[in-house]
Structure 1
Amino acid sequence: MSENSRPTLLLIDGLSMAFRAFFGLPVENFATSTGVPTNAVYGFTTMLATLMREHQPTHVAVAFDLPGGTFRTERLPSYKGTRDETPPEFEPQVPLIREMLDALRITAVDKERYEADDLLATYARMGREAGMRVLVVSGDRDTIQLVTDDVTLLYPRKGVSDLVHFTPGAVEEKYGVVPSQYPDLAALVGETSDNLPGVPGVGPKTAAKWIGIYGGLEQILEQAEDVPGKAGQSLRDHLDNVRLNRELNHLLTDLEVEVSLESMEYQGADAAAVHQVCDSLQFRTLRERLMPLVADDSLAHAPDEPAEVSVVTDGALAAILALTGSVTIHVEGKTGEQADAWALGVCVEDQAWGIDLAHLTREDEAALGAWLADPQVTVTCHSAKEAWHALKARGWDLQGIEGDTQIAAFLVNADQRGFDLDAVLQRYLGVSVGSESGAGQLDLGLGGSAAVQAGTTAAHVARLSAELSAEVERRGMAEVYAELEIPLIAVLARMEDAGVAVDGTVMGERRDAARERAEAAAQHAYDAIGGQQVNLGSPKQLQEVLFDTLGMPKTKKIKTGYSTDASSLAELQAKNPHPFLEALLAHRDATKLGQIIETLSGAVRTDGRVHTTFSQVVASTGRLSSRDPNLQNIPIRTEEGHRIREAFVVGDGYETLLTADYSQIEMRIMAHLSGDEGLIEAFKAGEDLHRFVGARVFGVEPADVTAEMRSKVKAMSYGLAYGLSSFGLARQLSLPVGEAQRLMDDYFARFGGVRDYLHAVVEQARQDGYTETIAGRRRYFPDLTSTNRQRRDIAERAALNAPIQGSAADLIKRAMLGVDQAIRDQGLRSRQLLQVHDELVVEVAPGEAKAVEAILREQMHAAGDLSVPLDVNVGSGPNWRAAGH
């Protein structure tokens, strides 16, 4: 039987490879939006997908160690006793890896009192005897003993991607012994990771030499008196250790196992389950890598596979122009400064058409433009705002947007990652239009022209729309979808198209000032350590200065030493003030500010304006996000951040900028949702909320509330709306945890409605599976019933703030819709430009300031019907900062 025709058994040491994945990928870079760490899951699954692709195994199993002892620890309690404590971020990921294996339909095995290595050894023996080619993947050197002509060990040299292939010849070349003799060598040399000390003075070369001379460990021990030199004497002094080592490093090949080789046969992954796990862990690119593993029989998402849709290109324009009512479209093109559309696909029921837009006559252009702007034509597409921009670049106005499958997919599960068309089609229909390979990829046929591509994709978006619309309805968000999110698309598109003017001179001055501050801070840092110049951006050099040169207390331990991230250094400076740390933190702030300014400067287009992109499908709470450039990350609590806003100015042909925002909107929503009489009283009386609350909490008159008291209460009030714990409050206020807990207890004693609400919202969400905003936006939390405590705790914290933040998001969106409609109804030229946090920025045309201010106040008040008044602040000025208030 040839090597290629033999069945291949792939055996993986689960925890060994998961640990390597964990330490190979920075945990801070891999987490869900609710804070669940995922670096080990991601790295492990990536390695697994690569192994499956490269080796095409017919049978697969992953072996796991179980918590608790084994027969080896019973024999030697100190066995593996020197291993570092498991990082807290690792343990919760093991169940997630097993969830992923279930979705991939890969067998996981374990056995009480035995190690994963023993299972690997037993199954390797069974596979070998069954005539299989066996591949063992493990970072434990004990598994070298399993290597034979039929069993190859894939041993990680670095991370989980660089694997050494240990064949019998490779083992002998590296260690000087055959694989079956490796345990003899290890017994002599010892294994530090297992806390098995070897013979002092005996290294691998000496051990291999003895094995070569005497034939093996038993013969060496029998003739120990004859082994010459100091090493021989050392051997004689440690014979018991050597015998014990050999007993413990022997892997068992004859365990009684419950899972048969036959049941390890790989049948392919379950597409729906893979999508579900990738959704919950918010994996996007990894999902695409897993699609080739999906079994053909699991791809169908709908009970009835729809009929094939043929795409008509000849005569497509005439057919499209005759359509009215609901249609699904897809635009092939690009957005941004070089926006363009080059193909249009349209689908109605089981018919699709595609047009190549590059070859239209002037008359055809005008006719198609009129059709797109016809209010009798209502349009559904994926990412309608992008389509709007691409079509506008050709002079067309896309009206009548009634559906967007990107937004629908987001509403169905806001905690997923990846809402581009390819990701959503893969998730719900098992097809792909963007990747070069993968299960269910569309076969465009007909030469794959842009027109056919557009028509085919429109047909799939139509299928997608039917499935998602039903799901949005089932989840109770049809109203949020149709009355809030969909109408907002055109408003945001016009805002993005308008952009905001930038004064290049002012922006340049801010950039130079940030650079000078960074240079001055760097010099102060060097002076604080005797003039030594170090790279302030190098964690390694900072560790040497902080912990070696300055002897400061160690921060959080990480793989490369001790953390030098911003939060760790800020905490270190708070507890152990030092001029170097102060200068370092100032340098980081100035450098970060300089980077923000550079990004903003680079984003100014040829019209002298910045055109940010607003997204409705990023923030799980429903808040809008801003990117390319991100205008939400301009600091608002520092003088330097405010000065950046001076560079955003009123544009030519306009008179002034108006800004309007809600005062303390989240606390007002908290008062409304909780029904707490004390908070409601404070807002209705128009008092300073934090002074009022401080007086109640600290038992003093409002006039006697100090600035420090007010600051503590403010931090706690907002913190409670974000699920802040006593530990988190203690860190934020630099208080002992006990004092922070007493502060919270006093708060809840005075404002019991808040306490009751926060408790009830989590319990109700656990019962329902979701939280709900005032407007009916739901956010689902399956982890509220998870058996994994960390995942459950994280879900509880997220569930606390979802109704409050989500209601605030809905409120500002409703206000934007009202402001836009009122401006249009009154025939004004003024226009909304920005929405950042709870603030709206409007560019006011000459003579319209009074009317626009009235619109802002009226529409922002009308956006919500709360049990407390909404307080709207309005300001005006020639630039964003001056218009602030």
Structure 2
Amino acid sequence: MSASDITDVPGTTDPEERRILLIDGHAMAFRAFFALPADGFSDGRGQATNAVYGFTRMIFNVVQSERPTHVVVAFDLPGGTFRDRIYDQYKAGRDETPQEFKGQIGLIQQVLDALGVAWHTVPDYEADDIIATLATRNAAEGIEVSIVSSDRDAIQLVGERVTLLQPVKGVTEMKRMTPAAVEEKYGIPPERYPDLAALVGEQADNLPGVPGVGPKTAAKWIVQYGDLPGILAHAEEIKGKAGQSLRDHVEDVERNRRMNAAVTDLDLPPLEGCVLGRGDAAAVSAVFDELAFGPTIRKDLPAVLLDASTAEDAAAEAARELPPISRPGSEELPALLEGELAGGAALVVEGRWELGEGDAHQLALATEESIAVIDLAGLDDTAERALAAWLADAGIPKSAHDTKLANHQLAGRGLEVAGWATDLAIAEFLCRPDQRPVDVAALALRHLQEDLQVTTAAAQQELDLGAGDEDAAARGAEQLGRTADAVRRLAELLRAELEERGATSLHDDLELPLSQVIRVMEATGIATEDAVLAELDAEHETRQAEVAESAFSHLDGDRINLGSPKQLQEVLYERLGLPKGRRTKTGYSTNAETLADLLDKTQHPFLVDLLAHRDVTKMRQIIDTLRRFIAADSRIHTTFHQNIAATGRLSSNNPNLQNIPARTEEGRRIRSAFRRSDGYVSLMTADYSQIEMRIMAHLSEDEGLIEAFNSGEDLHRFVASRVFSVEPEEVDGAMRSKTKAVSYGLAYGLSAFGLSRQLRISQGEATALRDGYFERFGGVRDYLRESVEKARATGYTETILGRRRYLPDLTSDNRQRRENAERVALNSPIQGSAADIIKLAMLRVDALLREHGLTSRVLLQVHDELVLDVAEGEEQRLRELVAEGMGSAYTLSVPLEVGIGVGEDWLAAAH
């Protein structure tokens, strides 16, 4: 909403009742950017959102603290202003805008539009000038004005009715600058601050001051001579070096004063167009969805920002009358299950699941007509049997937010659940794969505009049926019942959206059944020998000390903290004088990529030891994490997630088994700690050979690539022979490695620049290598180009099973966002199809094992590799069934090749 877009909105007419809040948009956005880590805030499509998040938080806080009736945010426009014509070095020398900041101003303006907060830009003028005009004009009319800005030029505006809020920490902590506060700090009244700044200069704006003249001297002169004209008129009388310096720089001072003078006469719309309370709740929810903001900031949205009608609608929906909530005991429950609940229900379980152990305390079941909250500990045998039969009945449809977790918790009570119809977490992920997973409360805020008022853990403990009085128990039951009712309504809404997005089959036939296969894997866990990990840790501890001592020897024995970026910056770039790399907000980078580049350039022995120290420290962290998650049964029960990786691949945490390096000797040795279970004879591993390239051949229909797979020769040697125009037997190791890097780089959307970094060759050589590949495998080139263009036209990519990845940034005007989206468009169909196939394989293998009555079982899926326990006497049959299940999971135009290995532990089972 620019200045010209603002329309008159009736507001308070009495100046005494008006309070206007003016915010310097660019200045505060930059502060928000540097206050929050860019890598911690993203919209999931490659666009950083830390400045947007921090700025939005700032708006919420300052609106609540200042209670304004009107708000305006002022922004600078790209390009110069009239001040650049006065002084062509104005603001010269500033650091280049961080790449991660680019695009965030536009997103902030989108948030402001949704909140109904007016924002202004004026060509040829700065945000300071907009603020100065509005502050001066409204203060003159008797209106209270608050300014939020980190720019010291705003100090001159402070007056009887104008207060400056200066951020002192990030964008959350503000210091109030009144006339008295300004005089106390600078020794002069606010209106004389431009005179002081003209004398002292402003480094941020590249306005040099009078050498040798600081704030105290400048303030003393202003007090003595009245103002800057008075000082200059008496310049000849000022003695000493400072006086001579002033006389030598009169022109600079006069120019500075012209530059920092506030413009107070811009033509801006009337105040009525900036009245607060025009926000649209639905629009705010939608833009927060796009930004992947979580539930906390949504709950903190001040109601005063919203239009009364939309706020009332949201409040009315939140206050909607619930179906009656009952708390059936053992006598009433069986009849309820056979009657009102016979057609199915939405479930919410209150319980826990950790380290392979689950428990459930309460269960809420919601239908359109009623809600039942059941105290599971209070049921007698008859009622518990009735509930168990109802839960296990596959013909009774049930919905929950996380069906796998609900199963784990109820299993702790000996209750099994079948008949799952909808999993909200999975459904939401399939509809919005690039957004962060959220809980039921956040989904209710997002889709129902309803605050479930989820309590804190401490409050929930108080509300637990077994922990408080009858009133507390009733409140707890209502809370649980309200959540179950939201689950029911969300299930209806998300099922409709799944149908609209063509994802119903993915949910019903793949992800939902798979969640129950994974649930069994998690509950089973994998046997893990702590003694093996302890021995490895001891070795790594010794190695860590050795490489540290070696590193210190290159520093004359100085024992710095090798994990401290600040100390490393001093050592690398000042003490050792190594070439400086990428600059960050805290100094020159010391990340792994930078250090590897430095080592390539300098071969400095300190870098060899430093990188070795980092590697061994990382390995110790991995080992320590694994040991902490070994449960009482001497097994690790990792948690697999189907709704985190946007490509659809499984991920895991507690612990993250994907963190174990697969290609290093140290990583492989860690795998030796994962053993066969007692009562089983060995572990089996099974994975696909070159699945991404097989999918590439299938999707691209490239005849050369299909021939490569059907030839029976080594794929990368065959492809290299075509790319380099030599016979296969003439392909050397370097040719094969380069071609392999190109093949997989294309599957991962790697650019020529990225390929050059990976192979450590020039970008020109990387481009030539890629072009040579495309010349020989034109079908791949055409497929990749067409994939991007098709996605640009439809707004999404698709896998072989129709899994979509939505990419609105393919049409973005922001180059960085558009190029990120193009890389994702290249990557997602291949990576996502690989995820589809391994998931189909897991379902097929599980079905075959049950169908043939084998005791052997699947334990893990890591990096598309299955790990199984092999029961005695079943190895050969298991090999056949696993090969069949994985090999027939999906029919490609080239065969799926499955590799299988068997051994005493995970390492020994490698193949």
CA distance in 1, matches of 2:699, 2:141: 66
Instruction: Output the amino acid matched with 2:254.
Output: R
The answer for the alignment partner of 1:392 in structure 2 is 411
Root-mean-square deviation (Å): 2.2
Q: Please state if 1:265 is matched with 2:275.
A: yes
Q: 1:287 to 1:156 in 2, by over 3 A?
A: closer
The answer for the alignment partner of 1:491 in structure 2 is 517
1:372 to 375, 385, 391: 391
Partner deviation per Cα, 1:535-561 (whole Å, 9 max, x = no partner): 100111111221122211111111222
The answer for the alignment partner of 1:317 in structure 2 is 333
Q: Please state if 1:117 is matched with 2:159.
A: no
The answer for the alignment partner of 1:745 in structure 2 is 771
Query: Residues 42 and 286 of structure 1 are in contact (CA less than 8 Å); yes or no, is this contact kept in structure 2?
Result: no
Q: 1:436 to 1:12 in 2, by over 3 A?
A: farther
The alpha-carbon deviation at position 158 of structure 1 amounts to 3.2
Q: How does 1:722-737 map to 2 (within 5 A)?
A: 722-737=748-763
TM-score normalised per structure 2: 0.93
1:412 to 431, 435, 444: 431
1:281 to 291, 299, 305: 291
Instruction: Output the amino acid matched with 2:544.
Output: A
Q: Please state if 1:791 is matched with 2:817.
A: yes
The answer for the alignment partner of 1:403 in structure 2 is 422
2:146 to 116, 135, 138: 135
The alpha-carbon deviation at position 726 of structure 1 amounts to 0.6
Q: Please state if 1:605 is matched with 2:631.
A: yes
The alpha-carbon deviation at position 446 of structure 1 amounts to 7.0
Q: Secondary structure at the match of 1:531?
A: coil
Q: Please state if 1:298 is matched with 2:324.
A: no
CA distance in 2, matches of 1:9, 1:761: 51
Q: 1:131 to 1:466 in 2, by over 3 A?
A: farther
Partner deviation per Cα, 1:66-124 (whole Å, 9 max, x = no partner): 01111111111111223222222222222122122222221111000001000001111
Q: Please state if 1:90 is matched with 2:101.
A: yes
Query: Residues 271 and 291 of structure 1 are in contact (CA less than 8 Å); yes or no, is this contact kept in structure 2?
Result: no
Query: Residues 278 and 287 of structure 1 are in contact (CA less than 8 Å); yes or no, is this contact kept in structure 2?
Result: no
The answer for the alignment partner of 1:213 in structure 2 is 224
The alpha-carbon deviation at position 246 of structure 1 amounts to 1.3
Q: How many residues align?
A: 877
Q: How does 1:323-338 map to 2 (within 5 A)?
A: 323-337=341-355, 338=357
The alpha-carbon deviation at position 43 of structure 1 amounts to 2.2
Q: 1:578 to 1:233 in 2, by over 3 A?
A: closer
Please, which moves more after superposition, 777-786 or 232-241? Answer: 232-241
Return 5+ residue gaps in structure 1 as ranges: 438-443
Please, which moves more after superposition, 715-724 or 215-224? Answer: 215-224
Query: Residues 446 and 452 of structure 1 are in contact (CA less than 8 Å); yes or no, is this contact kept in structure 2?
Result: no
Query: Residues 202 and 231 of structure 1 are in contact (CA less than 8 Å); yes or no, is this contact kept in structure 2?
Result: yes
Query: Residues 280 and 415 of structure 1 are in contact (CA less than 8 Å); yes or no, is this contact kept in structure 2?
Result: no
Q: 1:583 to 1:133 in 2, by over 3 A?
A: same
Instruction: Output the amino acid matched with 2:350.
Output: E
Q: Secondary structure at the match of 2:672?
A: helix
Q: 1:684 to 1:550 in 2, by over 3 A?
A: same
CA distance in 2, matches of 1:511, 1:232: 69
Q: 1:375 to 1:88 in 2, by over 3 A?
A: closer
Q: How does 1:814-825 map to 2 (within 5 A)?
A: 814-825=840-851
Q: 1:326 to 1:360 in 2, by over 3 A?
A: closer
Q: How does 1:825-844 map to 2 (within 5 A)?
A: 825-844=851-870
Partner deviation per Cα, 1:4-59 (whole Å, 9 max, x = no partner): 98332111111111112222233333334332222222222222222123223221
Q: 1:301 to 1:173 in 2, by over 3 A?
A: closer
Q: Secondary structure at the match of 2:96?
A: coil
CA distance in 1, matches of 2:526, 2:274: 60
Please, which moves more after superposition, 543-552 or 446-455? Answer: 446-455
Query: Residues 518 and 591 of structure 1 are in contact (CA less than 8 Å); yes or no, is this contact kept in structure 2?
Result: yes
CA distance in 2, matches of 1:226, 1:545: 50
Query: Residues 654 and 844 of structure 1 are in contact (CA less than 8 Å); yes or no, is this contact kept in structure 2?
Result: yes
Please, which moves more after superposition, 201-210 or 495-504? Answer: 201-210
The answer for the alignment partner of 1:524 in structure 2 is 550
Q: How does 1:201-240 map to 2 (within 5 A)?
A: 201-240=212-251
Q: Secondary structure at the match of 2:302?
A: helix
The answer for the alignment partner of 2:6 in structure 1 is none
CA distance in 2, matches of 1:282, 1:409: 13
Query: Residues 168 and 178 of structure 1 are in contact (CA less than 8 Å); yes or no, is this contact kept in structure 2?
Result: yes
The answer for the alignment partner of 1:515 in structure 2 is 541
Instruction: Output the amino acid matched with 1:279.
Output: D
Q: 1:629 to 1:679 in 2, by over 3 A?
A: same
Q: Secondary structure at the match of 1:666?
A: helix
The alpha-carbon deviation at position 808 of structure 1 amounts to 0.5
Query: Residues 323 and 371 of structure 2 are in contact (CA less than 8 Å); yes or no, is this contact kept in structure 1?
Result: yes
Query: Residues 855 and 871 of structure 2 are in contact (CA less than 8 Å); yes or no, is this contact kept in structure 1?
Result: yes
Please, which moves more after superposition, 18-27 or 664-673? Answer: 18-27
Q: Secondary structure at the match of 1:329?
A: strand
Query: Residues 9 and 60 of structure 1 are in contact (CA less than 8 Å); yes or no, is this contact kept in structure 2?
Result: yes
Partner deviation per Cα, 1:809-848 (whole Å, 9 max, x = no partner): 0111111111111111222222111011111111122222
Q: Please state if 1:700 is matched with 2:726.
A: yes
Return 5+ residue gaps in structure 2 as ranges: 1-11, 457-462, 464-469
Please, which moves more after superposition, 384-393 or 42-51? Answer: 42-51
CA distance in 2, matches of 1:713, 1:760: 22
Q: Please state if 1:761 is matched with 2:787.
A: yes
CA distance in 2, matches of 1:578, 1:32: 39
Instruction: Output the amino acid matched with 1:534.
Output: I
Q: 1:353 to 1:285 in 2, by over 3 A?
A: closer
Q: Please state if 1:691 is matched with 2:701.
A: no
CA distance in 2, matches of 1:591, 1:223: 66
The answer for the alignment partner of 2:52 in structure 1 is 41
CA distance in 2, matches of 1:213, 1:173: 17
Q: 1:543 to 1:262 in 2, by over 3 A?
A: same
CA distance in 1, matches of 2:328, 2:374: 9
Q: Please state if 1:74 is matched with 2:85.
A: yes
The answer for the alignment partner of 2:209 in structure 1 is 198
CA distance in 2, matches of 1:426, 1:289: 8
The alpha-carbon deviation at position 608 of structure 1 amounts to 0.6
Q: What is the identity percentage for the equivalent residue pairs of Structure 1 and Structure 2?
A: 53
The answer for the alignment partner of 2:194 in structure 1 is 183
Partner deviation per Cα, 1:134-193 (whole Å, 9 max, x = no partner): 111111101000101211111122322232210100000000011111111111222121
Q: Secondary structure at the match of 2:175?
A: strand
Q: 1:301 to 1:831 in 2, by over 3 A?
A: farther
CA distance in 2, matches of 1:98, 1:399: 48
CA distance in 2, matches of 1:56, 1:319: 55
Instruction: Output the amino acid matched with 1:298.
Output: T
CA distance in 2, matches of 1:446, 1:250: 65
The answer for the alignment partner of 1:549 in structure 2 is 575
CA distance in 2, matches of 1:320, 1:851: 47
Q: Please state if 1:720 is matched with 2:746.
A: yes
CA distance in 2, matches of 1:418, 1:594: 29
Q: Secondary structure at the match of 1:809?
A: helix
Q: Secondary structure at the match of 1:119?
A: helix
Partner deviation per Cα, 1:731-774 (whole Å, 9 max, x = no partner): 10010111110001101000111111111001000100111100
Q: 1:767 to 1:491 in 2, by over 3 A?
A: same
Query: Residues 145 and 180 of structure 1 are in contact (CA less than 8 Å); yes or no, is this contact kept in structure 2?
Result: yes
1:10 to 8, 21, 29: 21
CA distance in 2, matches of 1:668, 1:794: 25
Instruction: Output the amino acid matched with 2:387.
Output: L
Instruction: Output the amino acid matched with 1:551.
Output: G
